[in-house]
Amino acid sequence: MKFERLASLYTGATAASYEAERAASSQWLAEDAALDSYLNRLPRGSRVLDVPVGTGRFLELYVRHGLNAVGIDISPDMLRLATEKAAALGLAPSLALGDVRKLAFPDASFDASICMRLLNWIDAKHIDAVLAEFSRVTRSMFVLSVKVYPVAGSWEHASNRLKNLWRQLRGAGMVTHDRRQLDLQLEGHGFWIEEARTIGSDRRGASYLIYLLRRERLS
């Protein structure tokens, strides 16, 4: 998937119906519960970066935990909906258009960063640019949700690899990542994996994971 196309994926009716189509799903609810438990580990007043912020799904959660949230999205329509939601709730988070590969913040600007459901739009060779930016701006915690292959050597793993190669050649479509490769990439960018929680699976055996990552191992 080319980054330039991401801005056009969620526009108009697709953006407007985004939350309504997903909010009751078991995976969505499991993500909410996991993130809630992770944010509870941050001191009140911590600064949090949410990319992509989408329609502002977690804005209320950040307020509940007393966190100062900054939200970035590449889609103007999604960002408009997030702004409208914040206004309706009487919230005033910092929301702006932006590219996750070029975050306009100094190093170590945030106590925690959140990245939900983005990496499956980005093929493996471009993930490093994204992880490098999150690593640069994050001081402590990184929460990431992503869909990954079953273990290497399985039929499902081979099938998913072939599908991903085809999608990359076409330059379109979602990809499922190799769990081992992704773990190595995360570690290569200075993230220690504290937890990788399974929050769902598909019919082909791929798993939906939510990672709790740290910039350094806790004693």
Residues of the chain with pLDDT under 50: 155, 157, 162, 164-171, 219
Domains of the chain listed by start with CATH number: 3-214 (3.40.50.150)
Q: pLDDT tens digit string along 32-71?
A: 999 999 999 999 999 999 999 999 999 999 999 999 999 9
3-state secondary structure the chain: CCHHHHHHHCCHHHHHCCCCCCCCCHHHHHHHHHHHHHHCCCCCCCEEEECCCCCCCCHHHHHHCCCEEEEEECCHHHHHHHHHHHHHCCCCCEEEECCCCCCCCCCCCEEEEEEECCHHHCCHHHHHHHHHHHHHHEEEEEEEEEEECCCCCCHHHHHHHHHHHHHHHHCCCCCCECHHHHHHHHHHCCCEEEEEEEEEECCCCCEEEEEEEECCCCC
